Structure 1
Amino acid sequence: MMTSPISERLDEDEEFYRRMLAAFAADLRVATPGIIQEFDPATQTVTVQTAIREKIIDEQLVTHWFEIPLLLDVPIVIPRAGGFALTLPIVPGDECLVVFADRCIDAWFSSGGVQNQIESRRHELSDGFAIIGVWSQPRVLAGYASDAAQLRSDDGSVAITLGAGSIDIDAPIVRINGTPITP
């Protein structure tokens, strides 16, 4: 009785596991760039079109590209902590990064706090968070301040710059509201 050499048998196993992992990875969602289609300031959620098409090879080995359906009611991620938040005027066309949660977020999202999973899904399109502020190369900021912190408009015409030993405010109109303190 003749058997195949162990190296050939290992190659077969390796190919089996490679295909199994490839099939698993094909359905795994982790993160993808997206383009904001709509922003709801009341719920602070966005509708997102993913910016990368899916590649599917059919039974005849023909490649097809298709767009993932719109992601609806995606919670936004902005800097927020300690009772303060940095809000941004999110508009259609803004780019973002959608990160998909390990578990179903429905109960937590609607009720807050620690919740049980409603469904046992993982890395699903319906469990994404939109991280605002990611952008592609055609949208890089001109005049990026590499030596100071800035809160600025994309075109740089309005900016608050915190540099070494100075704070500069550049804007056509500057309003400061508050109650004057008298010594």
Structure 2
Amino acid sequence: MAIPISQRIPNNEEEFYRQMMEAWARTIRVAIPGIIQSFDPVEQTVTVQPAIRERIQDPNTLEHSWVNLPLLVDVPVVLPRAGGFSITFPIQKGDECLVVFGDMCMDAWWANGGVQNQMETRRHDLSDGFAIVGVTSQPRRLSGWSTDALQIRTDDGATYISVKPGEIDLVASTVKVNGTVIG
């Protein structure tokens, strides 16, 4: 049954502005956790399923329902990288991430690098996200977190390199060294 328009119009100025701000806020995208569906190591992009459903309201009946946001495709991956060095990860389907949405259309920058003109006037759009890998929900949190060392480790903690002041600890079932070992 459709709700008469007279019942949908705010009855005072304060309510009008509250509804207007809520409607505006629903269209802004800032960040959302996601679950990686696939990884393209050549393009260094992922396809991500947003991990939070959105509640929508039918404008005619005012009934609410929960819907999945669409898959986000060709999302650039954010990794630690600077000064000619990079840390890469074997990104897998099912890994969690945080997708942060750009303030403006990133298409020209993504294709060409450098400083570019904005191609479209969209803002905070689902198509302008960057996936930060490593964000983790509580069921997937790491156990055995080192509080006194930098570690590069497997999730289960069985294999790791640990760096503390004056000490490097390497734990692995096999260690391969290609090159000259000095010392």
TM-score by length of 2: 0.90
The corresponding residue for 1:98 is 99
| 1:21-36 superposed matches below 5 A | 21-36=21-36
Residue 118, structure 1, aligned to residue 122, structure 2:
no
The CA RMSD over aligned residues, in Å, is: 1.5
Which residue identity is paired with 2:54?
E
Note the C-alpha offset of 1:181.
5.8
| C-alpha spacing 1:181/1:150, structure 2 compared with 1 (3 Å) | closer
* Cα distance per residue 1:138-175 (max 9 Å; x no partner): 00101111121100000111100112431100000111
Select the structure of larger CA radius of gyration.
Answer: 1
Deviations 1:95-140 (A, max 9, x none): 0000000000001001111111111100000000000100000001
* Structure 2 portions without partners, runs of 5+: 1-10
Residue identity (%): 60
Determine helix, strand or coil for the equivalent of 2:76: strand
Distance 2:180 2:40 in 1: 33
Report 1:30-179 matches (<5 A). 30-58=30-58, 59-179=60-180
2-side partners of 1:78 and 1:122: how far apart?
24
**Cα gap change, 1:117/1:139 in structure 2, threshold over 3 Å: closer, same or farther?**
same
Q: Hey, what's the Cα distance between the residues in 1 that align with 2:30 and 2:147?
A: 31
Scaled by the length of structure 1, the TM-score of the pair is 0.90
Gaps of 5+ in 1: 1-10
> Quick one: distance in 2 between partners of 1:181 and 1:146?
30
